[in-house]
Amino acid sequence: MKLSRVVITGVGLTAPNGNSLAEFRQNLLNGVAGVERTEIRYMGPQLAGVCHFDALRHQKKKELRVGTRAGSISIYCAREALADSGVNFETLPKDRTGIYIGCTEHGNVETENEIFNISKFNYDTKFWSHYHNPRTVANNPAGETSLNLGITGPAYTIGAACAAGNMGLIHATQMLRLGEVDFAICGGVSESIHTFGIFAGFKSQNALATHEDPKKASRPFDKARNGIVISEGGCLYTLERLEDAQARGAKIYAEIAGYHVNSDASDYVLPNPVRQAECIRQAITRAGFTPRDIDLVNTHATATPMGDIQECQSIAAVFADSPDTLVNNTKGYIGHAMGAAGALELAGNLPTFDDLIVHPTINCDNLDPLCALPGLVINQPRKAKRVDAILNNSFGMLGINSALIVKRFVA
C-alpha cells in the first residue's frame, strides 16, 4: 500500500527565547539563551526556561482562571500555527480535524497548587477548586485547545516522557495516512517549571543544573556540564496530506520522511545507546535513506554527564561512515522543555532547508572528548553544503526513544 505523503504547513510556538518561529530562529543563530532564575515554591530561586508569551492574545481572562498553564500554551501555539498555515479556519471541517499533543506529565501543577491553597485553611476541602478534575485529566491540554477552537474531531494527549513532542507529530502522521482526519494540529507542550516536584526530583538525582550565569547553565557536551535546566514551552504544527495542502496552495515547510519508536527496557533513567541506535537506524530505513542521506542530526542531549555520552555513542555508531552529517543541539538556549522539547528543537532547524545555516550548540567551552562527534557544530553557526534531510532525536525516561526524519519538500 502506498502511503500518503504528509507535510508540515504551519508552525506555532513559544519558547524561553522566542514566541514565534522567526524570533526563535534568529535567537538560535545569534546565540541568545532564555534561561533565567525563577522562584520555585519550597526551593527558592531556581534556574529555569520561562516563556513570556501573551496568553490574552487568544484567551479571555476567565478562560485563564479556569484553565491550566499547559492548556494556555497549547491554545497559543495552536492558534499561531493555524494562522501561519494560511488555512481558512471558518471552512475547515472541525469534525475532520485532529489535535494530538505530546505531554511529559499533567496535573502535578494543579494538584500542588490546590494542596498549598487548602493548607492555609487547615486542609478544608471546601476550598478545593471544583475545576480540579478537568484541570488534571491527562487529556487536558488537547481538550482545552478543542474547546477554544471549537474542534470536534479527536483531541487527546500522548504521554511519552521527553519523547512526547516527536510522538505528537508521528501520531498525527499516522492518523492522516489512515484517513482518520484530514487536518491535524500536533506537537508537544510543557508546563513543568510550575511544579516543585520535578525540580526536587532532579535535584535528588544530582541532575539539576547549577551555574552563576543562568544563560550558561545548560551546557550539552561541555566537560563541565552538571545537569538539566527545566523549561516550559510548546510547539504545535499543522500537518496535512500533500494533495490537500497543494490544493489550497499552502506553503510547505517540510515533508515527513520517516520515524521510529522503541524502548530500552533496561533502566528507569539511564539511556541505552544500543536501543537508541536501533531507533535511529529504523527511522532512516523507513525513510528509504542511508545514514549518508541525513544532513543534520538534532540531538536530544540534556547536559547530564552520562546521558550526553550515551547518545553520542549511538550517533557515532550509526553515522560512522557518514563524514558530512552535521550535528547540533538546542537545549543550551532553552533548557529542557520536556514534552515540548522534540517539537521545539525540530522547529528551530526547519529554516535550515532554506538558508543552509546550521545553528550551533552553545555553552560548549570545553568539549568532552567522549562527546566529540566529527560533525558537531559548536558555538558558531555553520553554512552547510546541503540540507535535504534532518533527523530529530527525542528520548525519555523509562527508556522511550523516538527518531523523526523530515526532508526538503520536492513536488
| Burial group, residue 366, by CB count within 10 angstroms (0-12, 13-18, 19+) | exposed
Where do we find the cell 493555524? 82
Q: How far apart (Å, rounded) are the C-alpha atoms in residues 295 and 325?
A: 5
Active site residue 162: yes
Cα angle 21-25-30, degrees, rounded to a multiple of 5 = 150
Query: Closest by alpha carbon to 98, among 235, 229, 237?
Result: 237
Which of 336, 359, 364, 371 is an active site residue? Answer: 336
Q: How far apart (Å, rounded) are the C-alpha atoms in residues 84 and 75?
A: 14
Kindly provide the b/e burial profile for residues 164-189, where b requires at least 16 CB atoms within 10 angstroms of the residue's own CB: bbbbbbbbbbebbeeeebbbbbbbbb
Query: Closest by alpha carbon to 222, among 108, 305, 130, 163?
Result: 305
- Containing 63, the helix (H) or strand (E) segment is helix 61-66
Per the CB < 8 A criterion, the answer to whether 377 and 269 are in contact is no
Where do we find the cell 500522548? 158
Which of 51, 77, 103, 162 is an active site residue? Answer: 162
Active site residue 235: no
Give the N- to C-terminal CA distance of the chain in Å, as an integer.
20
SS3 168: helix
How far from the centroid of its chain's Cα atoms is residue 64's Cα?
A: 23
* Residues in CB range of 19: below 8 A, 6 or more apart: 13, 51, 52, 53, 54
Q: How far apart (Å, rounded) are the C-alpha atoms in residues 167 and 73?
A: 18
Which of 300, 312, 364, 371 is an active site residue? Answer: 300
- DSSP of 194-217: G-HHHHHHHHHTT-B---SSGGGS
Q: CB count, 10 Å around CB of 262?
A: 18
Which residues have a catalytic role annotated? 162, 300, 336
